[in-house]
């Protein structure tokens, strides 16, 4: 299953890792900005639900775990489904993002049928978006990667190929999209070595952690992925017994994300190395 928390040393150096850099020209940045801002033009006016929606999805997921019922996530899905009648691609994005977390919730409660069903629904909605931007494609690739565990073995190589194609296209549309790099790294990390996996994960994840959370700062757009990339990169180094590299990245990670449970939880694997 995909990824479902040292001291603040070297602060000046780490700030570069935390906030990323910008190796692209002004013209390239302008194209990226225009692409993202174009999908904001038809945003529902004065709709408070969609502002900082990413945090609201995560809060609903936490509430669901605490209450041991999927109602908080299901209610958010319903609210977004109503707004999807306006055919706004950002609303569709967040609806599918909720489906992703709903699927994880069902997975945690051992409801494979429910998990697979809601995941397929989210993927279908993303696939139906006519003009997918970089963010749609990165999320689609992420959801497809989760779907592999429910697919027959013969289909897995084809799904893996689609994941890479969608993530690669996401990067063609926005070379600064860290989520696309994270998905590519995750896909390679989980691909068995006999199928060519494990060779590119480090490079993809190193790229992801150096980029900004958003190419265009906006409360309606996604910013997830960098903490996930840090966690997976540390796990990659631990897996290959590269403990010096793992500790270095861990120190960067806890500086940027001091309260992240998944990153901090890796400390116990580094103590004796």
Evaluate whether 96 touches 126 at the Cβ level (below 8 Å).
yes
Q: Summarize pLDDT for 130-146 with one digit per residue, the tens.
A: 888 899 999 999 999 99
Q: Which of 36-40, 86-90, 148-152, 176-180 has the highest mean pLDDT?
A: 176-180
Q: Is residue 109 one of the residues assigned to a domain?
A: yes
Q: Is residue 207 one of the residues assigned to a domain?
A: no
Instruction: Give the least confident one: 36-45, 150-159, 237-246, 255-264.
Output: 36-45
Lookup result for tokens 């190589």 = 157
**Residue 12 or 32, more confident:** 32
Q: Is residue 267 one of the residues assigned to a domain?
A: no
Question: Token pair of 264, please?
Answer: 């901090």
pLDDT band at 38 (very low <50, low <70, confident <90, very high): low
Q: Residue 196: is it exposed, middle or buried by C-beta count within 10 angstroms (0-12/13-18/19+)?
A: exposed
Q: Is residue 59 one of the residues assigned to a domain?
A: yes
Q: Residue 92: which of 82, 107, 106 has the closest Cα?
A: 82
- Our count of domains for the chain comes to 1
Question: Token pair of 43, please?
Answer: 């945003």
Q: Is residue 85 one of the residues assigned to a domain?
A: yes
Q: How far is CA 109 from the centre of its chain?
A: 22
Q: Which domain holds residue 66?
A: 48-131
Evaluate whether 125 touches 100 at the Cβ level (below 8 Å).
no
Q: Summarize pLDDT for 213-254 with one digit per residue, the tens.
A: 998 888 889 999 999 999 999 999 999 999 999 999 999 999
Evaluate whether 211 touches 178 at the Cβ level (below 8 Å).
yes
**Amino acid 85: pLDDT:** 80
Output phi, psi for 35, to 5 deg. -65, -45
**Amino acid 218: pLDDT:** 86
Evaluate whether 3 touches 186 at the Cβ level (below 8 Å).
yes
**Amino acid 195: pLDDT:** 75
Q: Is residue 117 one of the residues assigned to a domain?
A: yes
Q: Is residue 270 one of the residues assigned to a domain?
A: no
Q: Is residue 53 one of the residues assigned to a domain?
A: yes
């Amino acid at each position: 299953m995909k990824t479902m928390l040292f001291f603040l040393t070297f602060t000046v150096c780490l700030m570069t890792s935390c906030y990323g850099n910008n190796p692209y020209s002004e013209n390239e940045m302008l194209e990226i900005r225009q692409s993202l801002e174009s999908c904001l033009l038809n945003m529902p006016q004065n709709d408070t639900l969609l502002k900082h929606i990413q945090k609201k999805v995560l809060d609903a997921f936490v509430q669901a775990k605490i209450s041991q019922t999927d109602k908080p996530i299901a209610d958010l899905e319903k609210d977004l489904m109503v707004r999807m009648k306006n055919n706004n691609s950002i609303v569709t994005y967040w609806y599918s993002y909720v489906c992703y977390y709903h699927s994880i919730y069902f997975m945690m409660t051992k409801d494979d049928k429910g998990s697979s069903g809601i995941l397929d629904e989210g993927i279908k909605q993303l696939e139906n978006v006519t003009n997918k931007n970089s963010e749609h494609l990165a999320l689609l690739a992420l959801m497809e990667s989760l779907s592999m565990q429910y697919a027959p073995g013969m289909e897995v190589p084809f799904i893996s190929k689609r994941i890479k194609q969608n993530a690669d296209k996401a990067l063609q549309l926005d070379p600064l999209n860290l989520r696309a790099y994270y998905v590519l790294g995750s896909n390679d990390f989980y691909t068995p070595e006999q199928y060519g996996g494990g060779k590119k994960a480090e490079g993809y994840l190193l790229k992801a952690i150096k980029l900004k959370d958003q190419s265009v700062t906006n409360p309606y757009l996604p910013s997830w992925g960098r903490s996930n990339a840090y966690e997976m990169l540390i796990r990659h180094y631990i897996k290959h017994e590269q403990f010096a590299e793992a500790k270095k990245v861990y120190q960067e990670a806890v500086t940027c994300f001091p309260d992240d449970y998944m990153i901090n939880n890796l400390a116990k694997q580094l103590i004796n190395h």
